[in-house]
C-alpha cells in the first residue's frame, strides 16, 4: 500500500494511509535486513524497504502491513 511520510510541527514522524483515511504517529522504528519497520500509535506495523537516510520529507513510499 502507498503511504505518505511527513513530520508534524513538533518533529514527530507521521504516516498517512489514504485508502484508510488514517494518519498516525510513529512510536518506534526498527532497522532489519529487509528495510525499516515502523510501529504506529494504533499498533500497526509497516515494513518499508529501501528507505534512505536522511529522510526527505514529505515523501510517498510503498509499505507492507505486517500481521
pLDDT score of 54: 87
pLDDT score of 62: 96
- CATH number of 6's domain: 2.40.50.240
- Nearest by Cα to 43 from 65, 62, 63: 65
Question: Is residue 53 within 8 Å of 43, Cβ to Cβ?
Answer: no
Question: Is residue 35 within 8 Å of 47, Cβ to Cβ?
Answer: yes
pTM: 0.90
Domain hosting 22: range is 2-66
pLDDT score of 67: 74
| C-alpha grid cell, residue 67 | 500481521
Kindly give the parts of the chain with pLDDT less than 50.
none
pLDDT score of 34: 76
**Alpha-carbon dihedral sign for residues 28, 53, 19, 9:** positive
| C-alpha grid cell, residue 1 | 500500500
pLDDT score of 33: 83
Q: How many domains does the chain have?
A: 1
Amino acid at each position: 500500500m502507498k503511504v505518505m511520510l511527513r513530520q508534524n510541527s513538533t518533529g514527530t514522524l507521521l504516516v498517512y494511509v489514504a485508502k484508510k483515511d488514517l494518519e498516525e504517529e510513529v512510536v518506534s522504528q526498527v532497522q532489519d535486513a529487509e528495510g525499516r519497520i515502523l510501529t504506529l500509535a494504533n499498533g500497526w506495523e509497516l515494513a518499508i524497504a529501501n528507505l534512505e537516510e536522511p529522510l526527505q520529507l514529505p515523501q510517498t513510499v510503498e509499505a507492507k502491513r505486517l500481521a
